[in-house]
Structure 1
Amino acid sequence: MARIFNNLAKLGVGLAVTGGVLQSALYNVDGGQRAVIFDRFRGVQDEVVGEGTHFLIPWAQKPIIYDIRSKPRNVPVVTGSKDLQNVNITLRILFRPQVPALPKIFTNLGIDYDERVLPSITQEVLKAVVAQFDASDLITQREIVSTKVSEELTERALQFGIVLDDISLTHLTFGREFTDAVEAKQVAQQEAERARYIVEKAEQQKKAAVISAEGDSKAAELLAKAFGAAGEGLVELRKLEAAEDIAYQMSRSRNVAYLPQGQQTLLSLPQ
C-alpha cells in the first residue's frame, strides 16, 4: 500500500512538472499584436510571430509583444518663424510600427520606441518647416504648412520603421507681442474702413445735393419760360388752383360756417 502511494506521489509530481514546463512553453499573441522572439543563444530572431498560441523553448527564448494598432500622440513644439516670432505648435500623430521592421525596432529602440523617436523627429521637422514661413503666412497658409510637415515627417519616421497614419496641426499660437500687434492692426483696419464709409457717404450726399439743386434750377427755368409764354392765363390758372386748395382746407374745418349767396347777415346791416 505504501509502495502504491509513493508511486502515485511520484506520478503526481511528474505531471505537475510536465504541466509547468508545457505552460511555460506556450505564449499567446492577441489580436492587433505581433511578437518578436529573443533567443539567449542566437539573439533577436528575424521572424515576426502573428496572432495565436505558440510554442517556445523555456528559459532559452522570450517573446516580446508589440501592439501594431494605430495609437495617438500629441507632441508640443516651441519654435521660431522666418520673421523671428515665437510659435507654439501642437502636432497630433497617429502612429504604428512596421510589422517587418519589429526585430530591428526592438534591437535599436526597444519597447518604448515612440518615446525615443517621435518627439525628436517632430521637433526637427517642425522647426525646419516653420522657419520657411512668416508668422502671418502660418495663419493664411496653414494647409500648405500642414502638408509639408506631413510629407517630411512621414518620410523621416519611415527611417525608424514607424508608419504615420495621420498628422494634423491641432494648436497654433504666437507670442504675446505678435498677438497684440495683430489685434492692433485689425482695429486700425476697422477704423480705416469706417472712415472710408463716412467719406463715401458724405460724397454721395454731396452728389445728391448737387443733383437736387440742378433739378430745382431747371424747374425754375422752365417755370420762368412758361410764365413768359402763357402770360396772364397761367397766372389765373395758378390762382384758381390756390383757391381750390384753400376751399378744400376750409371745408374740413369745424369753425367755418357757410351762408347762401345774397343772404344778408347782421354784419352787413346798416349802422
Structure 2
Amino acid sequence: MEVNPKLKQAKPGKIISIAAVLLVVVLIAANSFATVQYGHIGLYKTFGKLNNNMLSPGIHLKIPFFQSVIQVNTQVTKAETDTSASSKDLQPVSTHVAVNYSVNKDSAYNLMNNIGGSFDAVIINPAIQEIVKEVTAKYPAEDLITRRDVVAGEISDLLTKRLAKYDLVVNDINIVNFKFSDAFDQSIEAKQVAQQQALKAENDLRRIEIEAKQKIAQAQAEAESLRLKKQEVTPELVQLKQIEVQEKALEKWNGVLPTVTGGATPFIDIESLTQK
C-alpha cells in the first residue's frame, strides 16, 4: 500500500515545529531566573529602568528577555591609587595609597542609579588623589615620614566624609609608600649619619665625664682615709707603740747586753713604726 506523499511531507514539518516550540520554552525558562551571588545585592532592571527592590543572595524570578538583574558587590573591596604632589616645604612626593571600602547595602540602589557600576573610577580614585594632595601639602617632607600614622588618619577622616555622600563606607586606609626625590633621600641619609655621630660623641663625652668623676671620688676617698688615719695618731698611741716595740724587743733579747761605745743607748725610730 502506498503512503500519501502529502503525509510524508507533513511529518518533518511537524517535528520542526515541535522542536522550535521546545526551544522557545527552554529559552524562556532559562531567562526566567537570575542568581544573586553571595556578598552581593541584586537590583531589577526593566527596559533600562532600575528598580529599587533589592534582592538578597539566591535565585530570583524575572521577566524573560525584558528584565535583568544587576549585582552590586557589598563586600570589602580594595582601591589602590598613586598620587604625585608636593609637601609643605615644596619637596616632590609620590604617594601610594590603598583604601578598603564597601557599599552600604541599604543604599545600593541610590549608588547604582546615580553613579553606576564604575563608581570606583568616577568617585573613589579621584577623591583619594584630591584628598592625598590636600593633606600632603600641610606637612614638611620629613613629617610625612615620621608622622605617617597622623597623615593617614587625616586622609581617612576626610575621605570618609567625602565618600559618605555617595553611600560608600571607608573601612581602612594605608599609606603603602612615600617616594621622594633622590636628592632628598640623600639629605635624609646624611642627616641620620650626622645624628648618629653626634649621639656617639655625646655618649663618649658622658663616659669621659663619668670616669673623671669616679677618679675624683676615688681620690677624695683616699685623701679622707689618710686624713682619718692621721687623726688617729695621738701622743697616747705613740707611747703605746713605743711600749709594744720595747716588749717585742725584750721577748727577742737573749740576756746579753750590747756593747756600746760612748755610753749611748740604742736608737729606735718610733715614728716610723707608728706609720704602719
Give TM-score, length-normalised by structure 1: 0.71
Of the three residues 186, 191, 194, the one matched with 2:195 is 186
1:22 maps onto 2:32 in alignment? no
Structure-2 residue corresponding to 1:122 = 128
Once the 2 structures are TM-superposed, how far is the Cα of residue 15 of structure 1 from its aligned partner? 1.9
Consecutive unaligned residues of structure 1, counting only runs of 5 or more, are 242-260, 263-271
Once the 2 structures are TM-superposed, how far is the Cα of residue 106 of structure 1 from its aligned partner? 3.5
Once the 2 structures are TM-superposed, how far is the Cα of residue 129 of structure 1 from its aligned partner? 2.3
What secondary structure is seen at the aligned counterpart in 1 of 2:169?
strand
Structure-1 residue corresponding to 2:213 = 204
Once the 2 structures are TM-superposed, how far is the Cα of residue 70 of structure 1 from its aligned partner? 1.0
Of the three residues 157, 160, 169, the one matched with 2:163 is 157
Instruction: Output the aligned Cα RMSD.
Output: 3.4
Consecutive unaligned residues of structure 2, counting only runs of 5 or more, are 1-6, 249-253, 256-276
Structure-2 residue corresponding to 1:169 = 175
Counterpart of 1:12, as a letter, is: A
Q: Which moved more, 1:150-159 or 1:101-110?
A: 101-110
Of the three residues 44, 60, 78, the one matched with 2:50 is 44
Counterpart of 1:97, as a letter, is: V
Looking at structure 2, the residues matched to 143 and 222 of structure 1 have their Cα atoms a distance apart, in angstroms, of 68
Of the three residues 39, 43, 66, the one matched with 1:60 is 66
Counterpart of 2:118, as a letter, is: D
Structure-2 residue corresponding to 1:98 = 104
Looking at structure 1, the residues matched to 165 and 117 of structure 2 have their Cα atoms a distance apart, in angstroms, of 17
Looking at structure 1, the residues matched to 115 and 17 of structure 2 have their Cα atoms a distance apart, in angstroms, of 47
How many pairs are equivalent?
240
Looking at structure 2, the residues matched to 230 and 155 of structure 1 have their Cα atoms a distance apart, in angstroms, of 93
Looking at structure 2, the residues matched to 207 and 218 of structure 1 have their Cα atoms a distance apart, in angstroms, of 16
Once the 2 structures are TM-superposed, how far is the Cα of residue 137 of structure 1 from its aligned partner? 3.8
Looking at structure 2, the residues matched to 239 and 47 of structure 1 have their Cα atoms a distance apart, in angstroms, of 124
CA distance 1:63–1:172, change in 2 (3 Å): same
CA contact (8 A) 1:85 1:178 kept: no
CA distance 1:239–1:211, change in 2 (3 Å): farther
What secondary structure is seen at the aligned counterpart in 1 of 2:139?
coil
Structure-2 residue corresponding to 1:73 = 79
